[in-house]
Amino acid sequence: MKKRRKITAADVERFLDKLAEIMSKAGADAHLGVPLWKRLERELERLREEEAIVAAARDRVTRSRDQRAERSA
């Protein structure tokens, strides 16, 4: 079984760009894309928050290591 790549915030941004193109060309049917747009926006927010937390955790580890190195020097 092939391992799936994790979808990132950048991926969702590209999906939103494509959906925006589709909706802009759909005329009176553009409203049909609204539920998917809302879902992608929620997913984008969730992924951005997740990425920010992971980045904050990495920063915290770096600061902690730096502080320990300073104390032991």
d(CA 51, CA 58): 11
8 is written with which tokens?
């990132």
In this prediction, residue 3 has a pLDDT band, given cuts at 50, 70 and 90, of confident
Q: How many CB atoms are located within 10 Å of the residue 12 CB?
A: 20
Q: pLDDT band at residue 73, thresholds of 50, 70 and 90?
A: confident
Q: How far apart are CA 17 and CA 44, in angstroms?
A: 12
Structural element, H or E, at residue 17:
helix 9-25
What pTM was estimated for this model as a whole? 0.78
- Write down the pLDDT at residue 33: 98
In this predicted model, what pLDDT tens digit does every residue of 15-63 receive, in sequence order?
999 999 999 999 999 999 999 999 999 999 999 999 999 999 999 999 9
